[in-house]
């Protein structure tokens, strides 16, 4: 009897160990708090867990694993398996995808931004660029055109931006320089303190971030239609971890991306944009709109010089920069 019980116990133990060995847990490094910007990652985690009966889980951390500016570094050394970052935080580390941050590209919707990003992420030069960090691009975090929230007197013309200190990264920062503003780059979590202390007088964000990081709490004005561009913030996975997944789990992960992005797009439109107008009105924030002539002058001053500079700089880095720029602008022209 004792022998039978021992054998039964060993069998149960073997089954338990076997099931634990099959389970896969990935750590995911985000920052801030759960918001529209992270809804696709949250939904991806739900789908992966559901479709693998809990055998594959994504454990999401908001700032507990790394700072947002170091997420790509963490991916490169395998400190965690998945992360989100913004290209403009460290353009030198991911120059190929910064083409999507050039000002006035002419993207008109979140859906178009999403499709454009996914197409670029599959370009061989982009794949090779991120491979230097042992990173595989999984999906974008498509954002609408950025605009400025600021304190003090509202700008009435583009000339009023002369000398304005503004938090703006990448191509948006370059565009703001053309109208005399003084851009500075800082992480989203630092912005509210910088604005309150007077380090910057205006902040360039998408609506969800203005609400999430509190820039509208003390703001006095908002530009409705400056639309200088947006930032590209991909979700990446550690390439070795992706290869090490079982075929089933890898298929589930990659197969859930489209549904996660669909959820993100719906959430952003239905939740964030629906709340944005009332949030401005409740706080008495003046909404500043610029005329067509001024906007055309802004585009003329910012768009071509920024694109030319980007192509020159990244050609010198060894990237097929002109090819990447033509690829992106060609796709935009086809879809508009």
Q: Are 202 and 216 in contact (CB under 8 A)?
A: no
Decide yes or no: CATH 3.40.50.300 for domain 23-143+231-272.
no
Give Cβ neighbours of residue 173 (< 8 Å, ≥ 6 apart): 88, 166, 183, 184, 185, 204
The per-residue DSSP string of 203-245 comes to: EEE-HHHHHHTTTTSS--EEESS---------EEEEHHHHHHS
The CA distance from 52 to 31, in Å, is 26
The CA distance from 67 to 135, in Å, is 17
State residue 333's pLDDT score. Answer: 93
State residue 6's pLDDT score. Answer: 54
Spell out the per-residue pLDDT of the chain, length 336, in tens: 455 445 555 445 444 444 444 689 999 999 999 999 999 999 999 999 999 999 999 999 999 999 999 999 999 999 999 999 999 889 999 999 999 999 999 898 999 999 999 999 999 999 999 999 999 999 999 999 899 999 999 998 999 999 999 999 888 898 999 999 999 988 888 999 999 999 999 999 989 889 989 999 999 999 999 988 899 999 999 999 999 999 999 999 999 999 999 999 999 988 888 899 999 999 999 999 999 999 999 998 899 999 999 999 999 999 999 999 999 999 999 988
The class that CATH gives domain 147-230+275-335 is alpha beta
Q: Range(s) for CATH 3.40.190.170 in the chain?
A: 23-143+231-272, 147-230+275-335
The CA distance from 125 to 308, in Å, is 19
pTM of the model: 0.84
């Amino acid at each position: 009897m004792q022998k039978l019980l021992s054998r039964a116990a060993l069998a149960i133990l073997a089954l338990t160990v076997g099931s634990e060995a099959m389970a896969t847990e990935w750590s995911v490094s985000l920052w801030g708090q759960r918001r529209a910007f992270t809804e696709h990652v949250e939904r991806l985690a739900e789908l992966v867990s559901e479709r693998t009966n809990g055998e594959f889980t994504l454990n999401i951390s908001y700032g507990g694993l790394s700072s947002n500016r170091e997420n790509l570094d963490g991916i490169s050394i395998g400190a965690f398996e998945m992360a989100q970052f913004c290209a403009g935080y460290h353009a030198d580390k991911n120059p190929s995808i910064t083409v999507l941050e050039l000002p006035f590209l002419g993207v008109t919707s979140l859906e178009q931004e999403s499709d454009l990003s996914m197409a670029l992420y599959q370009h061989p030069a982009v794949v090779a660029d991120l491979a230097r960090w042992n990173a595989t691009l999984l999906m974008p975090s498509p954002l609408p055109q950025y605009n400025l929230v600021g304190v003090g007197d509202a700008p009435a013309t583009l000339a009023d931006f002369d000398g304005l200190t503004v938090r703006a990264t990448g191509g948006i920062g370059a565009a703001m320089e053309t109208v005399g503003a003084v851009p500075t780059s800082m992480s989203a979590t630092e912005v509210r303190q910088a604005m309150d202390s007077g380090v910057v007088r205006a902040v360039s964000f998408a609506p969800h971030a203005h609400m999430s990081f509190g820039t509208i709490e003390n703001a006095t004005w908002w530009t409705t239609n400056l639309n200088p561009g947006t930032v590209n913030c991909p979700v990446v996975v550690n390439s070795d971890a992706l290869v090490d997944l079982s075929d089933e789990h890898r298929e589930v992960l990659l197969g859930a991306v489209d549904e996660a992005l669909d959820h993100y797009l719906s959430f952003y439109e239905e939740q964030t944009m629906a709340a944005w107008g009332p949030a401005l009105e409740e706080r008495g924030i003046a909404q500043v709109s610029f005329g067509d002539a001024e906007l055309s002058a802004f585009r003329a001053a910012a768009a071509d010089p920024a694109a030319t500079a980007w192509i020159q700089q990244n050609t010198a880095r060894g990237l097929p920069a002109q090819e990447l720029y033509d690829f992106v602008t060609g796709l935009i022209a086809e879809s508009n």
